[in-house]
Amino acid sequence: MRILIVEDEDAIAAPLAEGLRREGFEVERATTGEDALEAPPVDLVLLDLRLPDLDGTEVCRRLRARSDVPIIIVTAKGEEIDRVVGLELGADDYVVKPFGFRELLARIRAVMRRSRPGEADGVLRAGRLEVDHRARRVSLGGDELELTPKEFDLLALLAADSGAVVTRERILREVWDTDWFGPTKTIDVHVASLRKKLGDPRWIETVRGVGHRLAPQP
């Protein structure tokens, strides 16, 4: 998943980009409004309102006029009127500086869940794979798979952003509810079991030293 950070301050943009990359996102950056408008398509935009050329609200308006890309405004302008204007122009969320990285990350994922087609019914689809969150059921080509609770949670996490790398740290945090950074063999055991149940090890790719990603197979 590709994120565009529209922020002219290096002290804010650099650590934010680094943190997002550690979480498996691809990150692009624009330092001006014009650069943001000329940037190639991305999956989500983090937009500062105070830019050196264009007002961020104008950038938001122009982006929304031509695209449905999710936009999260990230700014020090925290007055209610600023929030209202930003949201009325089409922003999907509004985060006020200073913010915690984990909070922003949660908001990014929440916005992506709301904007991703096919999730209104609570079902994630990746090729022939369907993950039904509400029923906690998984089917492949119409055939239901028997998964343990942790196998379901792990596969659902990977399917939530199919093709993107999910770090081992994030898997531990969201599936096992821990920040343990020691040996993580339990992840490998569950990945191996999922590969077997999916019938093709290529469904789940390992990115050495980083994590795993779902790679839908025909």
Q: Which pLDDT does position 8 carry in this prediction?
A: 94
pLDDT of residue 106: 84
Comparing C-alpha atoms, which of 90, 84, 92, 89 is closest to residue 111?
Answer: 92
Spatial separation of the C-alpha atoms in residues 207 and 68, rounded to whole Å: 31
Extract the tokens encoding 22. 């550690």
Do 2-115 and 123-214 have matching folds? no
Beta strand pairing call for 204-207 and 211-214: antiparallel
How confident is the model over 98-156, as pLDDT tens digits? 888 888 988 888 787 676 655 545 688 888 999 988 889 999 999 999 999 999 999 99
Contact 203, 151 (CB under 8 A): no
Structure tokens that stand for 149 in this block: 């609770």
CATH 3.40.50.300 fits 2-115, yes or no: no
Residue 180 confidence (pLDDT) above 80: no
At 217, the pLDDT band (50, 70, 90 cuts) reads: confident
Burial class (CB in 10 A: 0-12, 13-18, 19+), 96: middle
146 sits in which H/E element = none
* pTM to 2 decimal places: 0.60
Token readout for 141 is 């080509």
178 C-beta neighbours (distance < 10 Å), count: 11
Q: Of 160, 150, 122, 118, which Cα lies nearest the Cα of 23?
A: 160
User: Residue ranges of the domains in the chain?
Assistant: 2-115, 123-214
Q: How confident is the model at residue 209 (pLDDT cuts 50, 70, 90)?
A: confident
Give the whole-angstrom CA distance, residue 92 versus residue 72: 6
Position 164 confidence tier, pLDDT thresholds 50, 70, 90: confident
Of the chain, the end-to-end C-alpha distance in Å amounts to: 21
Determine the pLDDT at residue 163.
83
Reported as a single tens digit per residue, the pLDDT across 14-64 is 999 999 988 778 899 999 999 999 999 898 999 998 899 998 889 999 999
123-214: CATH architecture: Orthogonal Bundle (1.10)
